[in-house]
Chains A and B, each alone.
Chain A
């Protein structure tokens, strides 16, 4: 058995060398497909991390009614603190809020000149639990908070998160569709390459059948060849994406830290690389299995 496997592996390598041009074509197609797919996965992973980061950082501000008495405020604090979704809260009195407002309007103080009394109410600035990541969960927390008597309004930049979530979803769906189409494309290329190889080896297969080779013995090198095409193609893709990642890592990381508050970009980890290699091998195997179906037609 071991000798047969060894023979099949050697034959697969030898066949790849013998049909170098066709194999280069198949490997290049797989590599290109996976360069696009891996890049998309890296972008999506970072977008997901960014979404989580922003969701974690977003504060929820609970505005209390101007009529709220100190006891109303205390009751509201207790109720808010009792919510499991709330990690911490900070009370901002109406006077502090006005002071902050004045500071924001420095140089334009005249706007507030006509105010005889403080128009602002007390408020709480909430930080939510890290489990609250998407806008749906936030909306649910906001709805709970609004039910508290003293609460006037709740603000948390929902529109912004929703927009980013929608963009992320579009990106994700586009990625899945694109990856699906590219995989199909690669599958067809591998399949066609191996069909061409099969045709070019028609005589060889006929002779092998004549000397008593089983179908499995003939198919195995072709399947190994397909898997090797997949693995080599993916390895090239990983190398290209990693090198490109290395080249842009520094400036991109600086940019993301500056504008998005994201200090660490996520690139391919060893586990993902292994998963992609396995996917490539599976793709090659699937393509070759489709192609070797035609073996039965070769009569000896």
Chain B
């Protein structure tokens, strides 16, 4: 198995307060990993270090064979195009339609309209929102908005999908649907890392679980599938 994410002795401090301490972690290509732990455990910080929203204070991070620890700021946009990121608050643009929100990732790489249209339709259909393609996010339910966010995250066929509490704002039924969607994406070969404080849900899906507490790695277990 090839490693897609490697953390070597990674620490992150905010104003001398440690958020992550001495993390050593390897995630392989195609894995479906849950980062669990209580609030303040360092789950979000760990994800931020992967998509370079933050830089580590110490240690090295390697993503898909590239040491991103000291990656130039100008290279970050190109690096991010290979990732997909999903947030608890969806981070959709309220003034843009579902189509436009999803198309954003393709607009920035300068794809022509025809291809953008085809690709967006495919993905929006896949997440089950084709009938809402011209709707604006404020008129969608939480579950629908998260589907749009997922569609936007996978529009570029990313090698890695990161999700920070993606079901935190959803009721259990919708959360389950969203998890199924992530699983389906994973079966297509995309590595998925989901941060959640909900250990039960992580265990329900029985994949790799990385447990954090107070910025330290408690365990990295591979549970058997249920």
A207 within 8 A of B: yes
How many inter-chain residue pairs (CB < 8 Å) link A and B? 58
Q: Least Cβ distance of A150 to chain B in Å?
A: 81
Closest A residue to B54 by CB, please name it.
Answer: A299
Residue of A2, A206, A214 near B108 (CB, 8 A) is: A214
Main secondary structure on B side of the interface with A: loop
Interchain CA distance A203-B94 in the complex, whole Å: 10
Contact between B95 and A208 (Cβ–Cβ < 8 Å)?
no
Contact between B112 and A3 (Cβ–Cβ < 8 Å)?
yes
A204 within 8 A of B: yes
Q: Least Cβ distance of B155 to chain A in Å?
A: 9
Q: Which residues of A contact B78 (CB under 8 A)?
A: 212, 214
A94 within 8 A of B: no
**Interfacial residues of chain B within 73-130, with CB under 8 A of chain A in the complex:** 74, 77-81, 85, 91-93, 95, 104-105, 107-113
Number of residues from B at the complex interface, CB < 8 A: 24
Closest B residue to A296 by CB, please name it.
Answer: B73
Number of residues from A at the complex interface, CB < 8 A: 21
Residue of A1, A203, A215, A300 near B110 (CB, 8 A) is: A1
Interchain CA distance A101-B201 in the complex, whole Å: 116
Q: Least Cβ distance of B164 to chain A in Å?
A: 11
Interchain CA distance A230-B82 in the complex, whole Å: 38
Contact between B53 and A3 (Cβ–Cβ < 8 Å)?
no
Interchain CA distance A207-B77 in the complex, whole Å: 12
Closest 10 CB pairs of A and B: A212-B81, A212-B80, A4-B110, A213-B108, A214-B77, A3-B110, A211-B105, A212-B77, A7-B107, A207-B91
Can you list 19 A-B contacts (CB < 8 A)?
A2-B110, A3-B110, A3-B113, A204-B93, A207-B91, A207-B93, A207-B104, A208-B108, A209-B77, A210-B80, A211-B81, A212-B79, A212-B81, A212-B156, A213-B77, A213-B104, A214-B78, A215-B77, A300-B53
